[in-house]
Chains A and B, each alone.
Chain A
Amino acid sequence: MIANIGFGVLVITLVTSLIAVITAVYGVTSKTRAMLETSRLAALSTFPLLSISIAVLIVLLLSGNFEYVYVYQTTSLSMPVYLKIAALWGGQQGSLLFWCWLLSGFTFIVLIRKWKQDRDLLPWVIVVTNITIFFFTLLVLFFENPFLKYYIMYNGEIITSLFQPFHAIAADPTDGSGLNPLLRHFGMVVHPPMLYLGFVGFIIPFAYAIAALIEGRTDDHWLKATRKWSLTAWLFLSLGLVLGSRWAYDVLGWGGYWSWDPVEISAFMPWLTGTAYLHSMVMQDKRGLFKHWNIALIILTFCLVIFGTFLTRSGLFSSVHAFSESELGPAFFIFITVMFIASLGLLLYRWSSLSSGYQIKSFFSRESAFLYNNLLFIAIFAICLLGVIFPILSELFTGQQVTVGPQFYESAAGPLFALLLLLMGIVPLTAWSTSTARNLGKSIWKPALVSLTFPIAALILGAHRWVAVLAIWLAALVICVTLYDYIRSIRLRAASQHESIGKAFITLTSRNRRRYGGYIIHVGVALMGVGIIGIEFFQTQTQSMVKQGETLELSGYTVTYNNLEITDTPDGRNVAEAEMTITRDGRDLKVVYPRIDYYYDSDQAVTVPGLRTTLADDLYIILVDWEPVTSEGATFKVFRNPLMNWFWIGSIVAVLGTLLALWPSRERKSIQKEPA
């Protein structure tokens, strides 16, 4: 019964979102206040309505109503409560509904907070967001309904249907098949909602941009009004990506964190264009530059967000993420095409009124650095897009599918990432407007010299590949230059204002939150780079079958296999857990327990590595197999991932930097001037 409520409110949402769109357009064109008010109320109502639908689905998931297809497929009696709730986004239907609900919530917030201020833009924001909500509700209702039930026909056939067909009786399974065990991990519980928050968050600045284009408000208002939305969306998207990596590192058992899988890339692409947008946003804000470009970037990001949502849904590509194939493909394709062409048409229509009265003069100015930053991000994006659609392109032109693997992305985009690091290293010491190579050289040589000690140290420690040494230098350059500039500014301020260093640090940081937030993000990214360099260039591994008491040796570490314990757990797992002691130079460092969990109900094994992690390196031990009868011999694979921890530390630093940039400032008109 309750499911009918969940379904019913979806139908109502479909209607209200359509009403919101129509009344908004009519209200603006006819200048009817009552119409606009109707539109606002209709748009506001989608959030509570969809919340009811979400609540119903959660109740069904929690109460174990396995006659519902979605509940059967994503939960089982043995799953803990938090996983049952996470099942909301564990399957296709639920995650689409969840996506739609987030968008309605974001629209709700915008309407509540900005209706008075942005009277002219908001009707169009309603149009854009509610067209999107309408589209997704339509998908949920007609293609991917989470409220379908199982029925048994008179001939014994089992079908799924929303309502009870004639001559059919309701099926009543006693338990569900459960969420795939590989997904039962904390990282996986929070990774999809983070990604979705990021995806959906970028729709608000997009809606504002479109509203500005339609209204002809070609000033910077749309951009400034949605700055925090963009930054927040970027934060969540970044978190989603990092948490996905962490999940892969912990669960997938191949010692990796990123595999250039099409679905990973499809979430990475809006991140790339979104990051480019965050940077070029600053240029419009401070210099009035890149106005067309910003709108183009946010349009692109929106389309990539929809494309990313679609890729995980379409089954178009083979990947660990892909959901089953469904009929969503054409629907998504049409939606993206229509939105893209319409937005691009609007941009072209307003092209001339968007031009800026400023041009970049110096090759070594900060403006120039931002320009190249954007070009690099777009180039990396283009490489990713090419790689993802290459099978389709090649089939179109040659009739044969040709795919590209991780090496393609690494060798094509790797050098561009290096250039980005170089830019990040230079940018704090560039000046706005006019700057010369000499000026830049004068201010940069000290920190640059310091940064050279790192690659030299790496060479002494035995790094041989010049690519790795160069990469280390670039990451060190970013960190050294940024810290140098930060410290120098603090000391200058302390001297000129007669403040203590501590006070100067606090005032300087709090008055330039975005600037220093950005720098902290850069340091975080450079630290993540250090982790990537460590695992990509210096990973070592060994594998062997050993008997109890025997050891494996890897890069100075000794790993002793003590014993293996095989147990059945009450929640339906067969756990084979090995005990291994890690020693170095005769000292016991840690005992780890790599294991394999075998889930009986879903016939699925999950390899859980044993991990010893320090700032210098990770020792990552996988139990590969064991002798079933004697349980004496077991095979292990051991990876040493140098510096890997810095990847996670760097991501935390970057998050802190973003939070600093997001922190609401008390002094509204704080000093925006940058020290030259």
Chain B
Amino acid sequence: MNNNTTVSPDQSMEKPVFKINKFIIGGLLLLAAVVVLVVTSLKGNAQYYLTVDELLASPKGQYSNVRVSGVVLGDTIQYDAQHQVLTFTIANIPGDDNVIEEMGGIAQVLHTASTDPSASRLQVEYHDVKPDLLKNEAQAIVTGQLGEDGIFYADELLLKCPSKYEEELPEQVQN
């Protein structure tokens, strides 16, 4: 594996030549490896991101692994600490950012959806520690699959609390 036979050292110091050589091959091999890695990783781990409406409208069993976003209904949160089973219901919120913007921002959308009885709902079951951010009107993003029983079994639960940073009106002055 002596790679130094073709070019003598001082020649190469002078000539600004670009040679198609093992480096290009090495680079291409690396590129190919990266592409293979990306494609295989994508196959196993990509999830469709749906709204509650879209998930409920889809034919049964179409999605095996899916991500759904909705608003948490505070009254429905139940936690069985002994078995660490968390159940709660989420209500549909629109998935399109422009629609959310038109409706007055995400905080407004979450508030409206959580109080709208006609919004479609989805019961979620999650087996783990109850997250600190799970509360009424939080946006929940759950990853998992819809069971035969209509319950969504989540493997992953992500929460986003708009009230965390969102403009909140001071209660003291509301009257």
Cβ contact within 8 Å between A401 and B173: no
A120 interfacial contact with B, CB 8 Å: no
Query: Closest Cβ of chain A: how far from B142's Cβ, in Å?
Result: 11
Known: A315-B106, A402-B46, A635-B82. A407 touches B16 (CB 8 A): no
A548 interfacial contact with B, CB 8 Å: no
Query: Closest Cβ of chain B: how far from A102's Cβ, in Å?
Result: 21
Q: Which residues from B are CB-within-8-Å of A415?
A: 33, 37
Query: Closest Cβ of chain B: how far from A653's Cβ, in Å?
Result: 29
Cβ contact within 8 Å between A604 and B132: yes
Cβ contact within 8 Å between B81 and A624: yes
Query: Closest Cβ of chain B: how far from A285's Cβ, in Å?
Result: 17
Known: A359-B18, A404-B42, A408-B42. A152 touches B81 (CB 8 A): no
Which of A276-284, A336-344, A361-369, A470-478 is the contact stretch? A361-369
Cβ contact within 8 Å between B4 and A436: yes
Known: A318-B160, A625-B130. A359 touches B12 (CB 8 A): yes
Q: What 8 pairs across the A-B complex have the smallest Cβ distances?
A: A625-B81, A401-B49, A173-B170, A412-B41, A408-B45, A635-B81, A545-B82, A171-B173
- B132 contact from A91, A318, A436, A607, Cβ within 8 A: A607
Q: Which residues from B are CB-within-8-Å of A323?
A: 165
27 residue pairs A–B, Cβ–Cβ below 8 Å: A171-B170, A177-B170, A318-B139, A318-B160, A319-B158, A320-B133, A320-B160, A361-B9, A371-B23, A372-B26, A375-B27, A379-B31, A379-B34, A382-B34, A401-B48, A402-B47, A402-B48, A404-B45, A405-B45, A407-B41, A408-B42, A411-B45, A434-B9, A543-B129, A604-B132, A624-B130, A637-B129
Task: Give Cα A180 to B166, complex, Å.
Answer: 11
Chain A binding surface SS class: mixed
Cβ contact within 8 Å between B100 and A436: no
Q: Which residues from B are CB-within-8-Å of A622?
A: 129
Cβ contact within 8 Å between B38 and A412: yes
Task: Give Cα A158 to B173, complex, Å.
Answer: 8
Closest A residue, CB atoms, query B101: A325
- A603 contact from B135, B158, B165, Cβ within 8 A: B135
Closest A residue, CB atoms, query B25: A363
Chain B binding surface SS class: mixed
Given contact pairs A150-B173, A411-B40, A625-B79, a sample of 17 additional A-B residue pairs in the complex whose CB atoms are under 8 Å apart: A73-B167, A175-B172, A318-B69, A322-B160, A323-B165, A324-B167, A358-B12, A358-B16, A372-B30, A400-B48, A402-B47, A404-B45, A411-B44, A433-B9, A434-B9, A606-B132, A626-B81
- A73 contact from B107, B139, B168, B173, Cβ within 8 A: B168
Task: Give Cα A379 to B132, complex, Å.
Answer: 36
Q: Which residues of B are interface residues toward A (Cβ below 8 A)?
A: 1-4, 7, 9, 12-19, 22-23, 26-27, 30-31, 33-34, 37-38, 40-42, 44-50, 67, 69, 79, 81-82, 84, 95, 97, 100-101, 105-107, 129-130, 132-133, 135, 139, 141, 143, 156, 158-160, 162, 164-170, 172-174
Query: Closest Cβ of chain B: how far from A9's Cβ, in Å?
Result: 25
Query: Closest Cβ of chain B: how far from A656's Cβ, in Å?
Result: 32
Query: Closest Cβ of chain B: how far from A158's Cβ, in Å?
Result: 5
Number of interface residues of A (CB under 8 A): 85
A116 interfacial contact with B, CB 8 Å: no
Query: Closest Cβ of chain B: how far from A163's Cβ, in Å?
Result: 18
A172 interfacial contact with B, CB 8 Å: yes
Query: Closest Cβ of chain B: how far from A513's Cβ, in Å?
Result: 28
How many CB-defined contacts (below 8 Å) exist between A and B?
196
A484 interfacial contact with B, CB 8 Å: no
Task: Give Cα A407 to B42, complex, Å.
Answer: 9
Known: A73-B167, A324-B166, A545-B82. A152 touches B3 (CB 8 A): no
Closest B residue, CB atoms, query A172: B173
Task: Give Cα A416 to B69, complex, Å.
Answer: 32
Q: Which residues from B are CB-within-8-Å of A405?
A: 45, 47, 143, 156
Closest B residue, CB atoms, query A367: B23
Which of A54-62, A208-216, A301-309, A383-391 is the contact stretch? A383-391
Known: A325-B101, A403-B67, A605-B132. A91 touches B47 (CB 8 A): no
Query: Closest Cβ of chain A: how far from B141's Cβ, in Å?
Result: 5
Closest A residue, CB atoms, query B2: A436
Closest A residue, CB atoms, query B7: A361
Known: A253-B129, A319-B160. A404 touches B37 (CB 8 A): no
- The CB with the most chain A CB atoms within 10 A, among B129, B133, B160, B168, is that of B129
Q: Which residues from B are CB-within-8-Å of A177?
A: 168, 170
- A543 contact from B7, B84, B95, B97, Cβ within 8 A: B84
Q: Which residues from A are CB-within-8-Å of B7?
A: 361
A92 interfacial contact with B, CB 8 Å: yes
- B4 contact from A316, A404, A434, A607, Cβ within 8 A: A434
A11 interfacial contact with B, CB 8 Å: no
Cβ contact within 8 Å between A390 and B46: yes
Cβ contact within 8 Å between A357 and B23: no
Q: Which residues from A are CB-within-8-Å of B84?
A: 543, 624, 635, 637
Task: Give Cα A171 to B67, complex, Å.
Answer: 42
Known: A412-B38, A415-B37. A375 touches B30 (CB 8 A): yes
A66 interfacial contact with B, CB 8 Å: yes
Cβ contact within 8 Å between A360 and B23: yes
A376 interfacial contact with B, CB 8 Å: yes
Task: Give Cα A438 to B107, complex, Å.
Answer: 65
Task: Give Cα A376 to B164, complex, Å.
Answer: 38
A69 interfacial contact with B, CB 8 Å: yes
Cβ contact within 8 Å between A160 and B160: no
- The CB with the most chain B CB atoms within 10 A, among A73, A323, A401, A622, is that of A401
Query: Closest Cβ of chain A: how far from B103's Cβ, in Å?
Result: 12
Cβ contact within 8 Å between A182 and B132: yes
